[in-house]
Amino acid sequence: MTSELVLIKEDGTRIDGRRPDEMRPAHMEAGVLENAEGSAFVQMGKTKIYAAIFGPREAHPRHLAQPHRAIIQCRYHMASFSVTERKSPGMTRREHELSKVIKEALESVVFLEEYPRSVIDVFVEVIQADAGTRTAGLTAASLALADAGIPMADLCAGVAVGKVAGTLVLDLSEDEDKHCEADLPVAMAPSLNSIVLLQLNGRLTKDELKAGLQLAKKGTDLLYDLQKKALQKRFASYGEVPE
């Protein structure tokens, strides 16, 4: 006999006990890696990600250089041990796609024109994956850019909304991601109130899309507060006068 997975229980809660509009516990830190110019760690539930920034430095090979602005090179990568079924260590098609969407989101907030002919390298390393890695990866990358002191119009904070058993839910876990009817990763530049990443896998009605975006906004505002707190903690001692 096969028992069907109950994603939304009778009392309206989810498989892990959360309410539909409830995020997983999130934790963030900035300045976590010695060898990078900027770095960050972001955890959302069981998803754990490090981001590291190198540069800005002169772009090589030279033909990549843009005369009036910097370019961002982004590598999103999942460790082989980050998922239940061992992943090949090389870059998959999915990782190339996610590197591209994270890079494009960052390009919309970083003041690239401050660094002509330069390159900024962004590394996003997924250590443990339980869904939402592209959005948590972008959240970590923008925190790491701020840690590196790179001027930006805003931070980027992202979360995935999904439609699970007919209900819109915030911050999908992998169990939900695997069985959802739609998966809507959204990232915002919260104080600019603009969307910097938006993808949709599956189908949503117009009204569901609107409601999904509102739900995502609630999540990204919360993540934005955590990003600011992580930066305040990181730079708290800078204002202190030594005795």
Binding residues vs ligand CDP (CB under 6 A): 83-84, 87, 94, 129-134, 160, 174, 177, 183, 185
**Closer CB to ligand CDP, residue 21 or residue 175?**
175
Tokens of 199: 């993808």
- The DSSP-derived string for 13-49 is -BTTS--TTPPPPEEEEES--TTSSEEEEEEETTEEE
**Closer CB to ligand CDP, residue 87 or residue 103?**
87
**Closer CB to ligand CDP, residue 88 or residue 193?**
88
CB of 30 to ligand CDP, least distance (A): 22
135 contacts 160 by C-beta, under 8 angstroms: yes
The backbone torsions φ and ψ at residue 134, rounded to the nearest 5 degrees and listed phi first, read -70, -40
Tokens of 132: 């939402």
CB of 43 to ligand CDP, least distance (A): 13
Tokens of 80: 């082989």
- Tokens 């443990």 identify what position? 128
CB of 200 to ligand CDP, least distance (A): 12
| Those residues with Cβ within 8 angstroms of residue 153's Cβ, 6 or more apart along the chain or in another chain | 109, 110, 111, 189, 192
CB of 185 to ligand CDP, least distance (A): 6
Cα separation, 139 vs 224, in Å, equals 9
Cα separation, 54 vs 38, in Å, equals 7
Cα separation, 25 vs 171, in Å, equals 10
167 contacts 19 by C-beta, under 8 angstroms: no
**Closer CB to ligand CDP, residue 45 or residue 56?**
45
**Closer CB to ligand CDP, residue 200 or residue 209?**
200
Q: Is the N-terminal amide bond of 190 cis, ω within 30° of 0?
A: no
**Closer CB to ligand CDP, residue 107 or residue 177?**
177
CB of 94 to ligand CDP, least distance (A): 6
